[in-house]
Amino acid sequence: MEKGRLEAFTDGVIAIVITIMMLEIRVPREHTLAALRPEVPLILAYALSYANVGIFWNNHHHMLQASERVDGRVLWMNLLLLFWISLMPFTIRWMGETRFSATPTASYGVVLMLAALSYLLLEKALAACNGADSALARAVGRDGKAIASLVIYVAAIPLAYVSAWLSMGLYVVNAVTWFLPDRRIEKAGATAKTA
Amino acid sequence: MEKGRLEAFTDGVIAIVITIMMLEIRVPREHTLAALRPEVPLILAYALSYANVGIFWNNHHHMLQASERVDGRVLWMNLLLLFWISLMPFTIRWMGETRFSATPTASYGVVLMLAALSYLLLEKALAACNGADSALARAVGRDGKAIASLVIYVAAIPLAYVSAWLSMGLYVVNAVTWFLPDRRIEKAGATAKTA
Amino acid sequence: MEKGRLEAFTDGVIAIVITIMMLEIRVPREHTLAALRPEVPLILAYALSYANVGIFWNNHHHMLQASERVDGRVLWMNLLLLFWISLMPFTIRWMGETRFSATPTASYGVVLMLAALSYLLLEKALAACNGADSALARAVGRDGKAIASLVIYVAAIPLAYVSAWLSMGLYVVNAVTWFLPDRRIEKAGATAKTA
Amino acid sequence: MEKGRLEAFTDGVIAIVITIMMLEIRVPREHTLAALRPEVPLILAYALSYANVGIFWNNHHHMLQASERVDGRVLWMNLLLLFWISLMPFTIRWMGETRFSATPTASYGVVLMLAALSYLLLEKALAACNGADSALARAVGRDGKAIASLVIYVAAIPLAYVSAWLSMGLYVVNAVTWFLPDRRIEKAGATAKTA
């Protein structure tokens, strides 16, 4: 089965999620900079979420680039990943409207954790579909980075009840570790091409 | 006529429908887990609907993969299918806001039934366009699964007036029967490729 | 310049317009069929508009299929067409919320007229870009159908002040004349392919 | 890395931004032309913003057409550009709802300036990725047009506090200078193709 349509559909969903989040920012009634100030934490949360979704898209791009085929299981794992990504605007809005309370901040961590888990499952499905000898399967191996992310998200969830800012800090730190695309896959993709 | 643009347009509409549904979930005013509880049935209904739309997309993907060409009639049947799919967020919202009353739950069944019917018509249009000898036409034959779905939806509509949960149960059962992609078409597609 | 991206962008805008229109339908507070009744004229108006936008998409699909290249002028004419199409949800909502009053119904005609005019300009830009000898240029010639549409829309605008239903009737009649894809272009596209 | 998916994702985000802006126009309660009048400045602002986003899309189209490959840095610069573009509906709504007050009008300039800056960074990333000898790198050189735009936006921001209409005038003038696609890149693209 060709991968083009899976990519196009994923791009559509992620483009909508990323754009809708920005549209959710409340327009201040007043026309002063001061009126914008109460929106600043929310705008920063949106920027973080934009980065998070952008990271998922970038890594998805690299992973699919290194894949040669997809199957039914890959399609479903991808839909599962998109399900959690499409829940992000909801949790970010809840977090913003309750001024970063514990439960909403933890719920953002839950959604991020489930998205990271689905990404891992998608990676495994792709490796299985492309064969144990494929460039992707060899490149991925035991994906330490994704597992580290999961650990960070799992830690951030209870920490939200200690301090929401501690959780937010972990989300930011984790975003930075995912910021750079997966060099191993990128290299494997390059190798696959030159092979 | 090439099928690429039909696929891209369908992906666009389905990506929007699937994402918008998640955005319709009301953000609780309170920041407690208890405040999220009244939204739980609606969130489950959205998850079911996400699965339903995902199933349509997956089967559409398989069906188009096995097709070699499209024509004007296919374009219109596809637009008809998308029309019913784009009505799903409306009925699911109505169902949620009236706490699963009889008529809204039945109306969700009506929309699902019309979508399933349009899917069947699209299948026939594709079979006609690709010729009676095509892999797709031979694979589809008399599509028992789609007809079974129609029967289930037709049954679920009046049953909503007996118990909305009975209808919901049928929607879930039916979703499961559609969950796996159509093996016959998948095989036919594979055969067509290797032929 | 390749035409693929122009098609993809157009598909994106039209997919959003077509889906958003359906999302604008107000969910009734009551859970009875009677509560749905006041929404029926608006739902029919949305269905008409869905058909209208679907027609533009179908014809756009056929026209681009018959084209071999695009240029800067084509890009701008296409953006102009999309501008008017993206105004349709606004006028249809205004029409619906004022229960088909004269001015909103006329404004829907104005937008349809400007979209039809832009479609004609896009057709001319494509014919110029593909050369006077191109299959598309020969097929289009003097596009009687588009000119007839323009005349119908121009007539529908003042008629809205006599009776909104008269205008709506003209919109429906015109939709029917555009319903079938342009056989001439379809043939030309086929000829171009076999040539 | 192939550029197709970068283009598709960009098209998705821009299509949503461009369509959502039109959907934000408030439907008048009254059914008279007079009721539409207070919305006219906002509709014109939306039309200007539609033109602005259309210009970014057109130039992006030309620039990517002349590029042969993309890399991770290009992906991130593109996401940065889309971030500012996706903030446009927010600032345009704020500007409209405060009847073109100083700060909202300046904030629109800030977002346009940051988008123009990101466009320039994307251009540099593409030139670096395609090599100093590439058609794109030679065509772009020192992009005087983009720098002129930046200067205009920087000037428009403080001028909004003198007169919002002065700023708006500058935005319009600047839109006109970007209206035509970058001839140098278009030529380079043509040269690259014939080479």
- Give tens-digit pLDDT for A127-184: 888 887 777 777 666 667 778 888 999 999 999 999 999 999 999 888 877 665 555 5
Gap between the Cα atoms of A171 and A49, Å rounded: 9
Chain D residue with Cα closest to C99: D31
> Confidence class of residue B193 from pLDDT cuts 50, 70 and 90?
very low
Chain C residue with Cα closest to B92: C27
Class of residue C138 by CB neighbours under 10 A (exposed 0-12, middle 13-18, buried 19+):
middle
Q: Which candidate from B7, B27, B57 shows the least CB-CB separation from A90?
A: B27
Task: Measure CA of the first residue to CA of the last residue in chain C; give whole Å.
Answer: 22
Chain B residue with Cα closest to C57: B9
Residues recorded for chain A: 195
What pLDDT was estimated at residue A10? 93
Q: Do A87 and B22 touch (CB under 8 A)?
A: yes
Q: How many other β-carbons are positioned within 10 Å of the β-carbon of residue A158? A: 12
Range picked from B138-142, C7-11, C18-22, C132-136 for highest mean pLDDT: C7-11
Q: Does C181 touch chain B (CB under 8 A)?
A: yes
Q: How far is CA B145 from the centre of its chain?
A: 13
**Mean pLDDT taken over chain C:** 84
Chain B residue with Cα closest to A161: B32
Rounded to a whole number of angstroms, the distance from the CA of C113 to the nearest CA of chain B is 23
What pLDDT was estimated at residue B167? 93
How is residue A70 written in tokens?
A: 């997809």
Q: Does C38 touch chain B (CB under 8 A)?
A: no
Residue C159 has pLDDT above 70, yes or no: yes
pTM: 0.86
Q: Does B2 touch chain C (CB under 8 A)?
A: yes
Q: Which candidate from D14, D29, D61 shows the least CB-CB separation from C75?
A: D61
Gap between the Cα atoms of A83 and B122, Å rounded: 27
What pLDDT was estimated at residue C122? 93
Q: How far is CA B45 from CA A16, A127, B23, B91, D9, in A?
A: 21, 32, 13, 11, 29
Q: How many domains does chain C have?
A: 1
> Confidence class of residue A191 from pLDDT cuts 50, 70 and 90?
very low
> Confidence class of residue B195 from pLDDT cuts 50, 70 and 90?
very low
The 10s digit of each residue's pLDDT in D31-52 is 888 888 888 888 888 888 898 8
Q: Does A188 touch chain D (CB under 8 A)?
A: no
> What is the maximum span of chain C, computed from C-alpha positions, in angstroms?
61
HSE, CB side, 13 Å, CA atoms: give it for residue A87.
Answer: 20
Which chain B residues touch C26 with a CB distance below 8 Å?
none
Gap between the Cα atoms of C124 and C129, Å rounded: 9
Rounded to a whole number of angstroms, the distance from the CA of D93 to the nearest CA of chain A is 7
Q: Does D158 touch chain A (CB under 8 A)?
A: no
Q: Which chains touch D (3 or more CB pairs under 8 A)?
A: A, C
Contact A16, B19 (CB under 8 A): yes
Q: Which chains touch A (3 or more CB pairs under 8 A)?
A: B, D
Class of residue B117 by CB neighbours under 10 A (exposed 0-12, middle 13-18, buried 19+):
middle
Residue D67 domain boundaries: 4-194
> Confidence class of residue D186 from pLDDT cuts 50, 70 and 90?
low
The 10s digit of each residue's pLDDT in B155-183 is 999 999 999 999 999 998 888 776 655 55
Q: Does D75 touch chain A (CB under 8 A)?
A: yes
Alpha helices by DSSP H, B24-161: 33-36, 40-65, 72-97, 102-130, 135-140, 144-159
Q: Does C3 touch chain B (CB under 8 A)?
A: no
Between helices D40-65 and D102-130, what is the axis angle to 10°? 10
* Percent share of chain A, pLDDT over 70: 88
Rounded to a whole number of angstroms, the distance from the CA of D144 to the nearest CA of chain A is 30
The 10s digit of each residue's pLDDT in C53-108 is 988 898 898 889 888 889 888 998 999 999 999 999 888 888 888 888 999 999 99
Q: Which candidate from C19, C61, C189 shows the least CB-CB separation from B13?
A: C19
> Confidence class of residue A59 from pLDDT cuts 50, 70 and 90?
confident
Residue D69 has pLDDT above 90, yes or no: no
> Confidence class of residue A194 from pLDDT cuts 50, 70 and 90?
very low
| Mean pLDDT of all residues in C147-170 | 92
Which chain C residues touch D36 with a CB distance below 8 Å?
103, 107
Q: Which candidate from B12, B87, B93 shows the least CB-CB separation from C15?
A: B12
CB pairs under 8 A between C and D: 77
Q: Does C170 touch chain B (CB under 8 A)?
A: no
Q: How far is CA D174 from the centre of its chain?
A: 11
Q: Which candidate from B22, B28, B57 shows the least CB-CB separation from A94?
A: B28
Which chain D residues touch C101 with a CB distance below 8 Å?
31
What pLDDT was estimated at residue D138? 72
Residue C194 has pLDDT above 60, yes or no: no
What pLDDT was estimated at residue D13? 93
In eight-state DSSP terms, residue A83 is H
Q: pLDDT higher for A94 or C185?
A: A94
Rounded to a whole number of angstroms, the distance from the CA of A103 to the nearest CA of chain B is 6
What pLDDT was estimated at residue C65? 86
**Mean pLDDT taken over chain A:** 84
Gap between the Cα atoms of D127 and D133, Å rounded: 9
HSE, CB side, 13 Å, CA atoms: give it for residue D64.
Answer: 26
Residue among B9, B19, B46, B86 with most chain A CBs within 10 A, to mutate: B19
